[in-house]
Structure 1
Amino acid sequence: MVLTARRQELIKILEATDHDAPLTVKQLAGRFGVSERTIRYDLDFVEEALRHKGLALCKQTNRGVWIEATAGLTELPRMAFRDYVLSRRERCQAIVVYLLAAGQAAAAEELAEHLLVSRSTLLADLESVKELLVKYQAELASKRGLGLWIEGKEKNLRNLLVQIFCTGTYDVSAPEQQAGEYPYEAELFHAYAGTLPVAELATFMIRLLQEQGLSYTDFSINYMVISLTVQLKRLQQGRRLEEADSGGLSGMSGSFFNGLARQMAAELSRYDRRIGEEGEVNFIIRQLLGSQISCFSRLDEGERQKVNLLALNLAESFIKSCQRWLGDIYVDDEELLYGLALHLQPAIERARCKVTLTNPMLPQIREKYGELFAIVLKAVREIEQELGAGLSEDEIGYLTIHFGAAIERKKSRAQKSLKVVLVCGNGIGTAKLLSITLKSRMPYLDIVKVLSLYEWKQQTVSGVDLVISTVPLKRQDAAVLHVSPILSALEMQVIENQIQSVYHKKFAAVEALALSGSLLGLKDVLLPSSIELDVRAGCWEEAIRQAGRLLVAGGAAEERYIDSMIACVKKIGPYIVIAPGIAMPHSRPEDGVKRICLSMVRLAEPVSFSDTRYEPVDLVFAFGAVDHESHFRVLSELWQMLKEPATVQGLRQAADKAAVLALIPDCQPEFQ
């Protein structure tokens, strides 16, 4: 029976739904962004499919829907529909893998039959395949009577395969995973690997990294196992990396990974002697650099101090650049500072060596934290000269996670509750973000352990109320809730519904948590009463006081907020100078802000903030936020104004307040 991707996902959600907390049709329609009528039609289709599996779809008016086992079944079996209708992205991935695995031309009819699609659908998919290949400097070649094949440099084709297989999070060492239960990329990978010793490679990598005392994540293991599998497969096909291509691998990490890669090649030569060739060893070095494996613990004391100083200075500059637009102070968040420093050190080296880091969560990050991602992206672009390299959007996605965790930390409230184990296969930053996001929305969660997938296999769960995992798990002795690494608002509603049911069963009471707020725009906060033109100020401190007084006079802030803004500049420095001649002083929400507010002061004579890049300053925008997110739209629209030279010139030449307000853009915010 064929199920569409939406119906597959619908079944997964219903499987995770407790019968004491059923989901309504309205909730499901919101989750998928479709009409209630469409959901009802899907439920009718799903009900028939479930019946063939011995399951019952239960419906109750004013209550919701859920799944129950029929007579004779003690628990719900995991669903596995192999007749899965692939998305276009998945079909494109399947075409690339099929052609590269075949190692020879394939007819269009052969591909259409493999994908179970029509010729017209295949032709449309091939156009998307061409677009994908361009990103890897490859192309789709064809010849009448011969078929289709892929051409490109071997290094780029290997990177393409690794990127495809790393898109999802799954246990690469478990080929018996059921279809529909794990990402489609898992099925593609194991089909591609064939008889190659994937489980042995996973065991080898774990043992090697533990012997070396190196820090790693589940992603690190998966990434390296996938990379080595692709390498061995391509060697089987006679596709060798002839060129040494070692340029740029002489940094601290590169030097250490050089030795480690040669050790790996020596041990792996039992599978293929060619893996010890120089080009193949350099492939392993580059994959190690992109694997998030940290070699910091293996550096000598002098190298560590050098790395520490460089990374901490960069992290501090980066935080200062970001917090200009975050409306709060983050440079004193030591967890953020050191977390960024640990990530930036290898990130800079990857960028310098042109090694691409794969971030399978990037689409989710951009969807969930779009505004924050844009702020982080802007901050990275500002300090790229200091970084000495340009960072990819995949890297920026991970930096966004660190900032997201810092924001959630500010919002979280300590409160005891359900004992939870969190299993996350996407790294420390993601685990922290997920942990803090869950606790900020549900402060009754007591996350007692955060484990990787490989650590989970060796753990007992006695005394634990719930296991929350980003990776599908099978465990008879614990209740397991499978979640996405980056949670959307709708997913959070569904998950909160399930967790509250568990809480209710244990404590017979659940606090209803609700966060609400409206997003104000620039026109809502920059009012005539908060604008003053041609103001005289003898120094930067007086300029901030003049702008702050407008906030106080409008009832948006307390007098102490002015002193706090000045204190921040004295303590942190002139980070508030955001562009040539423009400063945006602000402080923490708890320092006296009553509502989201913004004032503008145009100085009659510029003043110095001791910032040599953007001196002197003649436009001062004092800003106040009441929380850590609701002000993003205001700052986004302000940035749209200030990034346009003509608009900034208009602010400097405006004859009156009306002329200033007329410059506010009527368009969508950029931080999305």
Structure 2
Amino acid sequence: MPNFKICCIIKVVGGMVIKDIEYKILNYMIHIDDFLTIKNIAEQLDISERMVRYALDNIEYILKKNNMPELRRKYGLGIKICLTREQLDLIARRESIYKNYLGFSNKNRLILYLLKSHYSRTLLELSDFTGVSKATVSKYLCEVEEYLLEKDIKLVKKRNKGVYLIGKEVAKRRLIYSIVLESYDYSKMQGLLMPKNMDDLMIKNYFYGIDIKYIWEILRKSLLQRKITFSDVAFYNMIINTCIMLKRIQQRFLVDIELEKINYLSETFEYEEAKKYCKDISEKYSVVIPKTEIVWITMHFLGANPVKLLEEDIFSSVSQRTKLMNCTAAMVDAFENEMHIKFNNSDEIVRGLFVHLIPAINRMKYNIFIKNNLKEDIKN
């Protein structure tokens, strides 16, 4: 069976919509400056030739209605289209509430839609949004209810009122992070700067209006100026969480953090770095980034993996620092004994492991999740 999502995404004209698979076909074709057979397209996208034919019928209609270049057909050669990236993006965004949800499964699309809502949504509204029946929406809601509880978010369903989500903003942002990066490979994160596949497009479209390349550059510049180094995973994590923060502020949702935690974190070195970073973002997007949001970014700075040890770190007392250093040294000793080896540079290894454990402790302390595609490879 072909593996793809048959979901209505983008309302373009009248009752016509462009589906994920049709967008995927167009996106593939605009990168090929040559004629393609239906068989070529089917094999490349791992779908049936019959499905390609059906998709092309709808594509032709949509292109014509939007005054876009039409498909060119040549007997014996196949099909070609002279469509630019800008024209394809225009099709994907015209007159549509679905424009930010291209490629997501209907269940995830439903969750993201509820997350951006300030009030309850009726089954009819959710049905219109997802393009499925109210019965199917009810089924989806039942299926995601337990998943949401695992994320510390409660799905509330009230007769004659509608459906809405209850939970802390921090938990909601973690959920968005999980959904957005559900199937994304961090090793290909450069694709966000110049989307090449559906996963790239999903993230780019969800954060529509947010210049990921700009955030990428100011974060890189900030780290270079302050001689701080993040691992690739931590860097990408920071990019995505910055985008989530901006999107939530634009949707008028602010993070809620305990006063005690705010007071503690605002005294850290990382808070000052986060404040400068947020200032650049605030000026670029003309938004006010309150202190709680700066603290939220601080938590992610603390959860990053610095390669060099900063003079100030998470420890509020010398005894805490000493305790972790002793624990780290004991781990290295235990490894040497188990493997019957002796490191020549054990002190250097202890210091390096100590630095690596600091952000790990912070991630546990502030419940920060970083997706790492290498985790399973390391386990195996």
Please, what TM-score do these two structures have when normalized by structure 1? 0.37
Between the aligned partners of 1:199 and 1:18, the Cα distance in structure 2 is 27
1:137 is displaced (CA, Å) by 1.8
Higher strand share: 1
Between the aligned partners of 1:16 and 1:343, the Cα distance in structure 2 is 44
Distance 1:92 1:200, change over 3 A: same
Are the counterparts in 1 of residues 20 and 102 from structure 2 also a CA contact under 8 Å? Answer: yes
- Counterpart of 1:146 in structure 2 is 161
- Counterpart of 2:342 in structure 1 is none
1:9 is displaced (CA, Å) by 0.9
**1:57 and 2:66 correspond:** no
Partner SS state of residue 58, structure 1: strand
**1:183 and 2:238 correspond:** no
Task: Provide, for residues 408-459 of structure 1, a one-character-per-residue CA deviation record: whole Å limited to 9, x for no partner.
Answer: xxxxxxxxxxxxxxxxxxxxxxxxxxxxxxxxxxxxxxxxxxxxxxxxxxxx
Report the residue type matching 1:295 in the other structure: P
Task: Provide, for residues 38-61 of structure 1, a one-character-per-residue CA deviation record: whole Å limited to 9, x for no partner.
Answer: 334434443444455223333443
Distance 1:160 1:37, change over 3 A: closer
Aligned counterpart in structure 2 of residue 260 of structure 1, from 273, 277, 293: 273
Q: Which runs of structure 2 are paired with 1:59-74 in the superposition (5 Å)? A: 59-61=74-76, 64-69=77-82
Between the aligned partners of 1:276 and 1:267, the Cα distance in structure 2 is 15
1:141 is displaced (CA, Å) by 0.6
- Counterpart of 1:296 in structure 2 is 307
- Counterpart of 1:79 in structure 2 is 88
1:66 is displaced (CA, Å) by 4.0
Between the aligned partners of 2:219 and 2:153, the Cα distance in structure 1 is 30
**1:29 and 2:42 correspond:** yes
Between the aligned partners of 1:38 and 1:151, the Cα distance in structure 2 is 40
Are the counterparts in 1 of residues 156 and 163 from structure 2 also a CA contact under 8 Å? Answer: yes
**1:5 and 2:25 correspond:** no
Between the aligned partners of 1:28 and 1:171, the Cα distance in structure 2 is 22
Are the counterparts in 2 of residues 139 and 152 from structure 1 also a CA contact under 8 Å? Answer: yes
Between the aligned partners of 2:255 and 2:363, the Cα distance in structure 1 is 26
- Counterpart of 1:38 in structure 2 is 51
Report the residue type matching 1:222 in the other structure: I
Partner SS state of residue 149, structure 1: strand
Aligned counterpart in structure 1 of residue 225 of structure 2, from 211, 224, 228: 211
Are the counterparts in 1 of residues 218 and 277 from structure 2 also a CA contact under 8 Å? Answer: no
- Counterpart of 2:114 in structure 1 is 99
Between the aligned partners of 2:176 and 2:103, the Cα distance in structure 1 is 17
Task: Provide, for residues 510-564 of structure 1, a one-character-per-residue CA deviation record: whole Å limited to 9, x for no partner.
Answer: xxxxxxxxxxxxxxxxxxxxxxxxxxxxxxxxxxxxxxxxxxxxxxxxxxxxxxx
Are the counterparts in 1 of residues 38 and 78 from structure 2 also a CA contact under 8 Å? Answer: yes
Are the counterparts in 2 of residues 266 and 276 from structure 1 also a CA contact under 8 Å? Answer: no
Task: Provide, for residues 494-514 of structure 1, a one-character-per-residue CA deviation record: whole Å limited to 9, x for no partner.
Answer: xxxxxxxxxxxxxxxxxxxxx
Task: Provide, for residues 187-209 of structure 1, a one-character-per-residue CA deviation record: whole Å limited to 9, x for no partner.
Answer: 44348x8xxx9999777645533
Q: Which runs of structure 2 are paired with 1:30-429 in the superposition (5 Å)? A: 30-50=43-63, 53-61=68-76, 64-69=77-82, 78-80=87-89, 81-82=91-92, 89-165=104-180, 183-190=201-208, 205=219, 207-215=221-229, 219-220=236-237, 222-229=239-246, 232=249, 236-237=252-253, 240-242=256-258, 244-245=260-261, 256-261=269-274, 272=288, 275-276=290-291, 282-290=295-303, 294-297=305-308, 299=310, 348-349=360-361, 352-353=364-365, 354-358=367-371, 376-378=378-380
Partner SS state of residue 17, structure 2: coil
Between the aligned partners of 1:185 and 1:137, the Cα distance in structure 2 is 24
Q: Which runs of 5+ in 2 are unaligned?
A: 1-15, 312-320, 340-351
Are the counterparts in 2 of residues 139 and 150 from structure 1 also a CA contact under 8 Å? Answer: yes
1:125 is displaced (CA, Å) by 2.8
1:215 is displaced (CA, Å) by 3.4
Report the residue type matching 1:212 in the other structure: R
1:136 is displaced (CA, Å) by 0.9
Distance 1:256 1:164, change over 3 A: farther
1:140 is displaced (CA, Å) by 0.6
Between the aligned partners of 2:116 and 2:371, the Cα distance in structure 1 is 21
Distance 1:286 1:269, change over 3 A: same
Task: Provide, for residues 465-488 of structure 1, a one-character-per-residue CA deviation record: whole Å limited to 9, x for no partner.
Answer: xxxxxxxxxxxxxxxxxxxxxxxx
Q: Which runs of structure 2 are paired with 1:470-619 in the superposition (5 Å)? A: none
Partner SS state of residue 102, structure 1: coil
User: How big is the alpha-carbon RMSD for the aligned residues of Structure 1 and Structure 2?
Assistant: 5.0
Report the residue type matching 2:245 in the other structure: L
Are the counterparts in 2 of residues 165 and 186 from structure 1 also a CA contact under 8 Å? Answer: no
Distance 1:158 1:50, change over 3 A: closer
Are the counterparts in 2 of residues 205 and 224 from structure 1 also a CA contact under 8 Å? Answer: no
Partner SS state of residue 215, structure 1: coil
Distance 1:128 1:158, change over 3 A: same
1:23 is displaced (CA, Å) by 4.2
1:32 is displaced (CA, Å) by 3.4
1:26 is displaced (CA, Å) by 3.5
Between the aligned partners of 2:80 and 2:355, the Cα distance in structure 1 is 43
Between the aligned partners of 1:210 and 1:100, the Cα distance in structure 2 is 35
- Counterpart of 2:33 in structure 1 is 18
Report the residue type matching 1:299 in the other structure: L
1:171 is displaced (CA, Å) by 9.4
1:356 is displaced (CA, Å) by 0.5
Paired residue total? 312
Report the residue type matching 1:95 in the other structure: L
Are the counterparts in 1 of residues 153 and 168 from structure 2 also a CA contact under 8 Å? Answer: yes
Are the counterparts in 1 of residues 170 and 255 from structure 2 also a CA contact under 8 Å? Answer: no
Are the counterparts in 2 of residues 265 and 281 from structure 1 also a CA contact under 8 Å? Answer: yes
Are the counterparts in 1 of residues 72 and 80 from structure 2 also a CA contact under 8 Å? Answer: yes
Q: Which runs of 5+ in 1 are unaligned?
A: 322-339, 366-372, 379-672
Q: Identity across aligned pairs (percent)?
A: 18
Task: Provide, for residues 115-138 of structure 1, a one-character-per-residue CA deviation record: whole Å limited to 9, x for no partner.
Answer: 343322322332343244133121
Report the residue type matching 2:236 in the other structure: F
Report the residue type matching 2:246 in the other structure: T
Partner SS state of residue 30, structure 1: helix
Partner SS state of residue 79, structure 1: helix
1:285 is displaced (CA, Å) by 2.7
Partner SS state of residue 207, structure 2: helix
Partner SS state of residue 71, structure 2: strand
Distance 1:65 1:257, change over 3 A: farther
Between the aligned partners of 1:267 and 1:87, the Cα distance in structure 2 is 29
1:221 is displaced (CA, Å) by 5.4
Are the counterparts in 1 of residues 155 and 165 from structure 2 also a CA contact under 8 Å? Answer: yes
Distance 1:120 1:24, change over 3 A: same
Task: Provide, for residues 25-84 of structure 1, a one-character-per-residue CA deviation record: whole Å limited to 9, x for no partner.
Answer: 4343333333333334434443444455223333443xx534144xxx9x7864243377
1:16 is displaced (CA, Å) by 1.3
Are the counterparts in 1 of residues 73 and 80 from structure 2 also a CA contact under 8 Å? Answer: yes
